[in-house]
Homo-oligomer: A and B are copies of this chain.
Amino acid sequence: MPDPLRLGLAGLGTVGIGVVKIVQRHADLIAARGGRPITITAVSARDRTKNRDADLSGYAWESDPVALARRPDVDVFVELMGGEAGGAKASVEAAIAAGKDVVTANKALLAHHGQALAEAAEAAGAAIRFEAAVAGGIPVIKALTEGLAGNEITRVMGVMNGTCNYILTRMESAGLSYDQVFEEARQLGYLEADPTLDVGGIDAGHKLSLLASIAFGTRVSFDKVELEGIERVSIDDIRLAADMGLRIKLLGVAQMTGRGLEQRMSPCLVPVDSPLGQLPGGTNMVVIEGDSVGQVVLRGAGAGQGPTASAVMADVIDLARGTRLSTFGRPAASLVAPVPAKATAPAAHYLRMTLQDKPGALAKIATALGEAGVSINRMRQYGHPDATTAPVLIVTHKTTRDAIDVALKAFAGTGVLASEPVALRIEPV
């Protein structure tokens, strides 16, 4: 039997303990698949005395993750601490400097420092693997980097934050407001310490920026992701969209257009009966479109101990097998800085507004749309209990966001609006 591949594990939270459990439970299975045993030599975490759900007595303890990364008896440094700076960054850099391969679940670190880390790794002959950083247990980094490598990728989309998907799903099923469900989620422990990371779309935006780099051969550019969270999604829009056969998802879309690279993470509408529209609760889904393959859809658990540890172990087993890939699927030096596209590819849009119920109100709105070059596909005016205002829903034909913004501006000048209009993109899926 060949020498074991020796892991140094920094971070013993939910995912770290998940990795320990798999290494211990499936030692034989993993050795058979990886072609050599996989062992843990040393571990590191903030608090040594904390009671953890695994037997760590066989592993050396390092209080400093940088020291762990440099240990001569560690072949692969597994970083599961999280955070874009601090110990995570320092220890990953130390591991690379020592020529060691790195496996990480840290999307923030790679979204902010991916290019520099990839270049350093290449110079040192080390690999960085990060399947666990995007969409939990779904092998989407592998699908994009390897499984669809013969394709020019045309679009990557995904629902990649289970907490946001839970909140939106629960709002619809229980008919509750955003604030009510947010409070529920907080009490259930579903939210990060800083909930903006989830509900502000930042965590999902990190993931999108990593997928975009692989898909389009561009440098990771998280700062160019147009971010909009779910905080302003109202139960009214969820209900009225449903009435039109649509459902609101926090959807990430990366797309290379003639104008440049679009990256947006924002609440979008998708058909209720599409795979994205059907996605329940905490689940994740990534949709990859390539010129030869068409559309491939991947669905699974986006978080949690087992799924995330499964992704970490896939990377570790690849390294045991001797698989060597560039971090983002091609040499770091060949990745180009993307031209960010400001305007988005045309799409149908959903417009909701409340009009003053007087003759000619709707005509003024319709005229404003026509003058902005926006044509109407479907329109519904709802009954109005107070008889002085009328809720109106419009689904447009394909148009640009720019044209919608022109129309919204014109609406404001009509004097017939009883409330601020809502405009949501209907992503073609």
Residues in chain A within 8 A of chain B (CB atoms): 18, 22, 26, 29-30, 32-35, 131, 137-139, 142-143, 146-152, 217, 273, 275, 278, 290-301, 304, 306-307, 309-314, 316-318, 321-326, 329-331, 334
Oligomer: number of copies: 2
The distance in angstroms between the C-alpha atoms of A312 and B147, with both chains bound, is: 10
B26 touching A152, Cβ below 8 Å: yes
- Chain B residues closer than 8 Å to A304, beta-carbon distance: 294
Chain A interface main SS type: mixed
- Chain B residues closer than 8 Å to A326, beta-carbon distance: 35
- Chain B residues closer than 8 Å to A321, beta-carbon distance: 323-325
**Minimum Cβ distance to chain B for residue A127 (Å):** 12
Q: Among A22, A32, A150, A321, which residue has the most Cβ atoms of chain B within 10 A?
A: A150
A307 touching B294, Cβ below 8 Å: yes
- Chain B residues closer than 8 Å to A311, beta-carbon distance: 147, 293
A298 touching B296, Cβ below 8 Å: yes
Also in contact, A334 and B278, with CB within 8 A (given A149-B313, A298-B297):
no
B139 touching A30, Cβ below 8 Å: no
Partner of A292, one of B138, B139, B142, B306: B306
- Chain B residues closer than 8 Å to A329, beta-carbon distance: 33
- Chain B residues closer than 8 Å to A292, beta-carbon distance: 18, 22, 137, 306-307, 309-310, 313
**Minimum Cβ distance to chain B for residue A31 (Å):** 9
Q: Top 4 nearest A-B pairs by Cβ distance? A: A139-B147, A150-B313, A137-B293, A292-B306
A150 touching B297, Cβ below 8 Å: no
Also in contact, A143 and B146, with CB within 8 A (given A137-B296, A306-B291):
no
- Chain B residues closer than 8 Å to A146, beta-carbon distance: 139, 142, 314, 317-318, 323
The distance in angstroms between the C-alpha atoms of A201 and B115, with both chains bound, is: 48
B300 touching A150, Cβ below 8 Å: no
- Chain B residues closer than 8 Å to A139, beta-carbon distance: 142-143, 146-148, 296
Q: Among A149, A314, A316, A331, which residue has the most Cβ atoms of chain B within 10 A?
A: A149
**Minimum Cβ distance to chain B for residue A280 (Å):** 10
